[in-house]
Amino acid sequence: MKQTDTRPLFSIPWADQADSSTIATIPQSATAIGRASMALGFPKATMTPIAAGGVPPYGEDMNGILNMLSRAARTAELGILHPFSADYATAINGYPVGATIAHPTIAGRFLICTADNNTNDPSQSMNGWLDPLGNYATAAALQQETQRAQAAEAGLLPLAGGTITGPINRAGGGVLPEVIGPNLTGRVVIQAFVATGQKGAWGINVNFPVSFQPGTVPLVFTQINVEELNVPRSRMSPLTNNLSNNAPQITNTGFSFQPFYVGGENGTSAYPWHLQCLAIGVMQ
């Protein structure tokens, strides 16, 4: 079936304006010979030849059952859910799993039955019933959370610029440091990492874990471990110079340094080294 297939809808039930003498209310059980009932439908007598003792079916019964069915169909077409009915629950031995009814107190909400033979009235007990929207936030709760978030955001650094002075308290304890330095405006980030190598050389390049903003020069601080000879010697890690301006050779992507040892005699490191690095700069 396609969505575009013709689906006639009942705008009015069958025999909606019928004269009361031409439509009958169908009883649960037969009340007279030849009369229809919910239990028997049209009885056998209405399908037996009159010459053999049968009786013709009553037109009032036909109008009655078609009226009942078309009313039920129109309710389903409109998507209307029935509320819980104790009489109906008793008649069918309780609602089955998956049955859906209207919420007893909240318009527009529904409940799903989670137990067979369920006769619990949800207005008295939710046992055997599930409210699938019960855990969703109400409009009032959402409004309250929006106001709380707006108040919290008002105290933050504006995304389009602004200035924060002094330390920032952290929710988990402690404070975020206030970083002051040359050209440290915008989104200032501290990168702490460890670089390693096998031996020393002039101009060893170390890359930052994440590049800083192009065109910026971060601040770099290093600390290197001792030279592991028979007698450990102090080791240094000076940054190499840019020969064009005699400034430390630092770019937004990394820096260059030379590991060497001192003490008694000096020399370029010949043993593995671990360099602890701290870089402070501006990110995009």
Question: What are the residue ranges spanned by the domains of the chain?
Answer: 10-78, 81-132, 183-283
What is the reported pLDDT for 156?
A: 62
- Write down the CATH number for the domain with range 183-283: 2.60.40.2080
**Average pLDDT of the residues in 44-48:** 94
Say if CB 78 and CB 67 are below 8 A apart: no
Q: Please tell me the least confidently modeled range out of 27-41, 157-171, 184-198.
A: 157-171
- Which range scores top for mean pLDDT: 6-15, 96-105, 194-203? 96-105
- Whether 48 has a pLDDT exceeding 60, the answer reads yes
Residues 24, 29: Cα–Cα separation, whole Å: 14
**Average pLDDT of the residues in 102-108:** 90
pLDDT band at 228 (very low <50, low <70, confident <90, very high): confident
pTM tops 0.75, yes or no: no
Better-scored residue on pLDDT, 182 or 82:
82
